[in-house]
Amino acid sequence: MKLLEGKVIIVTGAGAGVGRGIAREAARQGAKVIANDLGVKIDGSAASAGPAKETVDLIVAEGGVAAANTDSVASWESAQKIVQQAMDLYGRVDGVVNNAGNLRDVIFHKMSEEEFDAVIAVHLKGSWNVSRAAAPHMKAQEGGAFVHMTSTSGLVGNFGQANYASAKAGLVGLSKSIAVDMKKFNVRSNLIAPFAFTRMVGSIPTDTPEQKERMKTLRTLEADKIAPFTLALLSDQAKEVSGQIFGVRNNEIYLFSQPRPIRTAHSGEGWTVQACIDRAIPMFKPSFYPLDLSRDVFNWDPV
């Protein structure tokens, strides 16, 4: 039995890499797929229908059902068109994978407003646009699931990615809010931090020995490895899973912690500024997190 038989799944950024792998596996599992991709270059220029069509052609060649879409997730109106295409062609939408992405890596004090806004528009606003467009249909049919792609850049930290990290951290709040607000309609929302070498990741600068070493590790991460767990979260067998943050790195799957208080300081007479300095901060200091980067936390070789 195919685990997504009869379901309709929208995959954004499905023209290559992680998104293409997810779209193809969704079809193999019986879903009808909307493969969305603008087909642009890394800098956002030269839109093309080619990548989305190539994904659809691969799915059809394998006996699946899919349609290409080239609307932008960054626009409210275009995102509505993505979802409406699913409704027009297949009559429902059961799952959305918010995978579309871009990069504008620049160290914080040199980052321009355009470089910040461009990344927020696709990753965070784009995920909101597509999810919001799909939500009424899922509510009406009393079921559905979202998977959003976050990143350890937002969960842990990385150099030169204030825009990307902000968007990916923002997705944590968005996903949890969707999970909470739509629970009564049997609609679920989860996050995956995918470790995978893609065209987007390949654009990361390699100007320093550290960056070159990081890229060497990134090249070992297979994009198609993200698909199985993504589709598992969209299946009915995962109906109890919502509001969680996962990671997938080659053959490893992680469950991430979520922020909760870890130490408490109390003063019966209240706090002064000096008392905070003298007592509260020293009490907390042993539990402070260092300024880790993603590579410091995931410091073992992918398996």
The residues annotated with a catalytic role in the active site are 164
The length of the chain, given as a count of residues:
303
Between CA 100 and CA 36 the distance in angstroms is 8
Between CA 100 and CA 74 the distance in angstroms is 10
Between CA 243 and CA 172 the distance in angstroms is 9
Handedness of CA 135, 255, 299, 248 (dihedral sign): negative
Between CA 11 and CA 178 the distance in angstroms is 18
Distance set, CA 136 to CA 59, 142, 245 (Å): 28, 10, 24
Three-class secondary structure of residue 287 per DSSP = helix
Q: Which two tokens stand for residue 71?
A: 């609307």
Taking each continuous run of H as one helix and of E as one strand, the counts in the chain are 12, 8
